[in-house]
Copies of this chain bind each other. A is one copy, B any other.
Amino acid sequence: MKHPEYQMRLTNFMERTRKLFPQKEVVSIEADGEIVRYTYLDEYRRICQLANALEDLGTKRGDVVGTFAWNTHRHGELYFAVPCMGATLHTINVRLSDDDIVYMIEQAEDNNLVFIEEDLIPRFEPIAKKSKNIKGYVILSKKKDIKDLPETSLSPVYLYEDLISQASSEYEFPEDLDENTPAFITYTGGTTGRPKGMVFSHRNIFLIGLAFTSAEYFGICQKDVILNLPPLFHNNGWYLPHAARLTGAKQVYPGRRVRPEAILSLIEQEKITLSAAVPTIWLDCLKLLKSGEKKYDISSLRLVFVGGAAMPRKAMEEYDQMGVKFVHVYGAVEASLISAAFLRPELENLSEEEKWEKRASVGYFLPCHEFKVVHEDGTEIKWDGKDRGEAIARGPWTMTSYLKAPEKSAETFKDGWYHSGDIVTVDEYGYINVVDRVKDVIKSGGEYISSIDLEGACMEHPAVAEACAIGVKHERWTERPILIVTPHEKYREKLEKGDILDFLSSKVPKWWLPDEVIFTDTIPRTGVGKFDKRALREKYSNVLLDEK
C-alpha cells in the first residue's frame, strides 16, 4: 500500500543548487593559469549539454565512462552528468602505473568514452593501445577547435568544448534510477598488489554528501567556499564536490597546479573557508608563508582536514596562530571519514599538553558509523588507551566488497564490517591512535608489540640512521621482534647489538627488546618509499629458529 521509498539520487543535489543557488560561483583554473568563473546555473546548462553530447555518442545507462583528469570544472561537470544520466563514472587515478591503469580499465569494464586532460594525452596513448573496449576519447581543454589539438594516436578523438557547444542545454535526467545504481568506481592506491576497485552507488554518495554537511563532520554549508584540493581522480575528491552541490557552497577547482603559491593565492583571492588534503601540501604552504617572500591573508579558512599522515604539532600550532584550524581525520576509500580529532567540549579545561594528545590522535568516530576495535578473537578492546586491536567500521556508506576480488573482499569485509588493517588504541573519550598495521604488528606470546613504536624508539639512538622492526617466527612465543638497523656512516661496523639493547631498555617494556639486531647498509623499500616489511619478513623468517 505504501508508495516505494524515495530513491536517493545525486540529481537531487544538482537540482537544489540549480534552483536555490543559480547565481553562486564556481571557479576553476585552466592549464594555462586562466581563471574561469561561472555560475551554478551556467554549470547546470553545461552538465545538460554534456549529457546530451554523451547520449549522442551512444552512452547508455550502465555504461562506464572514464576520466583521466585534474581538478577542474570540467571534471566537476562529469561528476554529475555521468551518474545522473544513469551511467557510471570511473575516475582513473593518474598517479598509478600504466600497467595498473590498463588493469583497472579492463576490470571496471570501461566500455565507453574516456575523458582525458590535454596534458595527459601522451601519458594515455600507450594505455589506450592496450585497452580494447574504449569507444573514444574526449579531450578536456579550454580549446574550442579540434584542429588546435596536438597530433595524437588516440582515435576517435573529440574535444570537450566542441562537443558540448553543439548540444542542447536542456536535459531530462531520469526519475526511475534506483538508488543502488552504481555512480562512481574508484580504486585504492594499491601499495601492495593491484589496486582494488569499489563501486559507490547513488545512495552511498547521497548519504556521504549529507553527512559532510553535518556539524560533526565538515559542517559544509552555503557560506563555505571550498577549495577542492583532494584529487577528483581518487577517493571521489573526498566528496567535497558533492556536499558543495547539496548546500550551494561556492567551489574552487585549483586545476593541475597545486603548488603553494597557487594554493595560498587562491585562498586569499577567493576567501576559501574550507579545504582538506594530505599534510605535505600544507607543510609546503607553511614554509612559503614563513619565508616572508610574499604575504598571504589566509584568515578566511575556518577548517582544514588532513589525513593520510600526521601533521606535525609545530605546524599545527603555527597555523593555529594564524587562526586556521587543522583537524586530523582517519578514514579510507572503503569507509570515507571514520573519525576526526575535534576537541570534545568537556575537554576544554585540559592542559595544553593533554589537549595536544587528543589533537595528535585521529579523533573519535563520526556519526552514522558503527565502530569497534577488536582483538583477534573478535572481542572488543578496553577503551583505556593501552589495549590494542584492529579498527573495524560499518555504516550507510561503508563499502562491503571490492570489485571482482572475492578473496580480498572476504579478507577485508566481514559481515559488512570494513576491517581497516590498522592496530589502534582508544582512550576513555574515544580518541583513536593508530599504532601499527595488522600485518606489521609483532604478536609475541599473545600480546602485541608495535613495530612502529619499536622503530621509533630505536631511531632516537644518535648512531642510528634507520631502523625497521619485524616479527619473526619463534618456537615458544610464536613471534619475537628483531630490528634491522642502518647506522650512520661513521658508526658502521662499530655499532653493536648490545648498544641498541642498552639504549632501548629504558624506552620500551623489557619483553619488547628485540631478540636479534641485524646491521645492514640499506633497508629495502616499496614503490611508495615505505620499508618493505614483507620482503624482510621473508628474508629473516627463520633467523631465530636457526639460532637454536
B247 close to A6 (CB less than 8 A): no
B5 close to A430 (CB less than 8 A): no
Of all chain B residues, which has the CB nearest A2? B401
A406 close to B6 (CB less than 8 A): no
* Total A residues in contact with B, Cβ cutoff 8 Å: 55
**Does more than half of chain A's interface fall in helix, strand or loop, or is it mixed?**
loop
**Quick one: CB contact mask for A283-304 with B, threshold 8 Å, 1 for yes?**
0000000000000000000000
- Knowing A6-B416, A220-B215, A371-B19, say if A1 contacts B396 (CB, 8 Å): no
- Knowing A3-B400, A199-B2, say if A367 contacts B247 (CB, 8 Å): yes
Q: Does A165 contact B (CB under 8 A)?
A: no
Q: Which residues of chain B come closer than 8 Å to A20, judged between CB atoms?
A: 364-365, 429-430
A430 to B344 CA separation, bound complex (whole angstroms): 36
A543 to B160 CA separation, bound complex (whole angstroms): 66
B5 close to A203 (CB less than 8 A): yes
Q: Which residues of chain B come closer than 8 Å to A223, judged between CB atoms?
A: 345
Q: Which residues of chain B come closer than 8 Å to A4, judged between CB atoms?
A: 400, 416
Interface centre among A222, A367, A369 (most CB of B within 10 A): A367
B345 close to A222 (CB less than 8 A): yes
- Knowing A19-B371, A20-B365, say if A416 contacts B3 (CB, 8 Å): yes
Q: Which residues of chain B come closer than 8 Å to A222, judged between CB atoms?
A: 216, 344-345
Q: Which residues of chain B come closer than 8 Å to A489, judged between CB atoms?
A: none
Q: Which residues of chain B come closer than 8 Å to A346, judged between CB atoms?
A: 24
Stretch at the interface among A8-16, A253-261, A525-533: A8-16
**Quick one: CB contact mask for A503-538 with B, threshold 8 Å, 1 for yes?**
000000000000000000000000000000000000
Q: Which residues of chain B come closer than 8 Å to A1, judged between CB atoms?
A: 401, 404, 406, 409
Q: Does A210 contact B (CB under 8 A)?
A: yes
Q: Which residues of chain B come closer than 8 Å to A68, judged between CB atoms?
A: none
A5 close to B180 (CB less than 8 A): yes
**Quick one: CB contact mask for A192-207 with B, threshold 8 Å, 1 for yes?**
0000000100010011
Residues of chain A at the chain B interface (Cβ within 8 Å) = 1-6, 8, 12, 15-16, 19-20, 24, 180, 199, 203, 206-207, 210-211, 213-216, 219-223, 246-247, 344-346, 364-365, 367-371, 394-398, 400-401, 404, 406, 409, 413, 416, 429-430
- Cross-chain pairs A/B with CB under 8 angstroms, 22 sampled: A1-B409, A2-B199, A3-B400, A4-B416, A5-B203, A6-B396, A6-B400, A6-B416, A15-B370, A16-B365, A16-B367, A16-B369, A20-B364, A206-B396, A210-B210, A213-B215, A213-B367, A214-B214, A215-B221, A216-B221, A216-B247, A247-B367
* Besides the known contacts A4-B416, A19-B371, A215-B219, 11 further A-B residue pairs in the complex with CB atoms under 8 A apart: A3-B400, A3-B413, A4-B400, A6-B395, A6-B416, A16-B370, A20-B364, A213-B215, A213-B367, A215-B247, A219-B219
